[in-house]
Structures are given as structure tokens and as C-alpha cells.
Amino acid sequence: MKSNKEPMQERVLKPFSGWLMLLVGVVVVAGGIAMCVLGGQSDDSFAVVYVIAGAAVAVVGLFLLGGLKIIHPNEALVLTLFGKYYGSVKSDGFFWVNPFCAAYNPAAAAVGSRKLSLKAMTLNNEMQKVNDEEGNPIEIGVVVIWRVVDTARAVFDVENFVQYISTQCDAAIRQVARQYPYDVSENGDEKSLRGSSVEIAEILKQEIQSRVLVAGIEIVEARIAHLAYAPEIAAAMLQRQQASAIIAARQKIVDGAVSMVEMALHKLSENNVVELDEERKAAMVSNLLVVLCGNKDAQPIVNSGSLY
């Protein structure tokens, strides 16, 4: 006997052609009706028996017709027979299955059909507020593209596979978000939710896949659709980002100014344009740095007298 802890094994059925069984069912129903008509017109003592037999045959024919099923492309039908798993029909077409079998899908209320869709579906979970690696509250939303690959596991191993993947996506988002900061660190050698979107998406996909494997679901793609600081710290973080940008810009300006001053002194000395002592060099360096690093245009002062 199969243990309840073992995952359900999918059994793919190869049902009979529906057209052949349709013909058989119609013939049987027609034969039963004909027996009823002949029995009713006969004066024989067995006329009642003919009528009853004809009615029974017609009922059997109608019962056979109840096993006809239409399966569209990328759909599957999970069948149970007296409470036990009978098999899954995953081929598209017109088929006949055992009329005693019943289609089973616990998520029928969510998907609207007893049949299982094998198409790629999109899950857009609501935006969540979580804490990143540094403890900053952030808002994050994820879009997940998924599909059912094992119908038996999806139907029997979880209560509702649609709700199950939604819950597991929420848990996976929280798990991944806690492992990485929102933005890249000062060292720049660490993955971040904002700066390493491709790597984080792959990590998120693997995390969700490991959680929904029991439900026979394959994760095709998972990506972050919304990422932002929580409103209570968004303004402070914006100021922090602005300050970091200003510092980086100032650092680049200073580096360029120092390089230009060095080049100017080297050219003056190399071309013997003017000889400056250390005090005059210091004054020149100070003036050039003020001009190059200032926020506003410098106002020149022309010295028409002696340099000294």
C-alpha cells in the first residue's frame, strides 16, 4: 500500500477514441428504443419483457455516452474511480473514459473548471512590506510565471495548488529579501535587490521552485516587479542617496582639479614660462583649486603690477 508521505505518481492514460464509442453508444440507445417500440406494438405475452429490456439497453447506451470527454490543448483531466486515483488524460482530442470515473480538481472554485490547465500562468502577488539585510523596511512585489507539470501531485499532494503557490511565493520573497540589502554597499562587492536584479531573480526562482516541487509545479520565471523603500523611511533614504551622489560628484571634481593643477605647474616649469617659488606655487594651487572646485563662476582679479 502506498504511504501517505510518498508523493503521488502521475499515471498518464491513453483513452479510447471518443468517435468510436459515440457510435457504439448511439447504436445501443437506438437499439433499446427500437426494442421498446416493438415490445409495445406486440401482442405477445413477453411484450412487457421486451419493453423493460429495451429500456435497460437504452439506459446502458446513455451511460456509455456519459464517458465522452473533450480535452482542449494544454489541458488535463484527473480522474478518480471510487475515491482512488485512476489516471490523468493529458492529450487533446475527443475521448471516452470509464463512465464511473469522476473528474477531480480541488482548485475548481479558483480556476473555474474541473480540468487542469497546463498553460503558463502568471501570479502577481500583492506588494509586501519586508526588511532587507540591513533591517530597512522595503516594499517588494514579485511576478511569477508558472505551470503545472505533474497533475497528480498538484491535485492530491496539496489542498489547493493555486493558493499553495501564492503562499509559498510570499514566504520565498521574505526569505530572499532578508538575505540582501536594498542597495549596493559602499564596497560595491555585494549583491543587492536593486543593483543585481538578474541574479536576485534567478535566486528567487530557485527558492520558489524548491518550495513548490511537492505540488508538481514548474517555475518558468520569477522577477521583481516593484521595489521601493517603505514610506516611513523613503524621504530619509532619498536624502542619503542624494548625499552619496553629491559626495561622489565632489570627489570626481577634486580629482580632476588636482590633475589639472599638476599639469599646469608641470607645463609652466617645462616650458620655462615663469619661475615660481614654493610660496607662489602654493598660492597658485590654492587659487586654481578654488576656481575649479567652486560651485559658482570665479570673478577674476587682474594684477597689473609686479608679480612680487
Confidence of residue 3 (pLDDT cuts 50, 70, 90): very low
Q: Name which of 205-214, 279-288, 294-303 the model is least confident about.
A: 294-303
Question: pLDDT of 40-61, one tens digit each?
Answer: 776 666 677 778 888 888 899 9
pTM as predicted: 0.69
pLDDT of residue 251: 78
Tell me which of 3.40.228.10, 3.40.50.2000, 3.40.50.1240, 3.30.479.30 is the CATH number of domain 121-229: 3.30.479.30
- 105, 155 Cβ separation under 8 angstroms: yes
pLDDT of residue 139: 87
**Residue 210 clears pLDDT 60, i.e. is over it:** yes
Question: pLDDT of 137-151, one tens digit each?
Answer: 888 889 999 999 999
Q: Pick the residue with more confidence: 247 or 166? A: 166
The helices-and-strands tally (H runs, E runs) of the chain is 8, 11
Question: pLDDT of 90-110, one tens digit each?
Answer: 989 999 999 999 888 887 755
